[in-house]
Amino acid sequence: MNRDNELPNGFQDGDFELRELEEQGRYEAYLRKIGKCSHTWRQIGNSNNDIPKGFFKCLHCDQIVKL
């Protein structure tokens, strides 16, 4: 394990990355709880699927959204 001695209080880069991921997860859970979709799990439209080019399909709520 590589240790970055320049960071204060013994924190590592992974600690900061994990904090950002946890904040993002809490925000998305909050949006789902109040009935809104964050459209983060999506499939981009192309000629191989039924989604038009320039749009994506949210795989959480099945809504077609323009890019």
pLDDT at 42 over 80: yes
Q: Which residue has the tokens 């749009």?
A: 55
Check residue 26 and give its pLDDT. 94
Average pLDDT score over residue span 26-42: 87
Q: Which of 25, 19, 22 lies closest to 11 in space, CA to CA?
A: 19
Q: What is the pTM (predicted TM-score) of this model?
A: 0.55
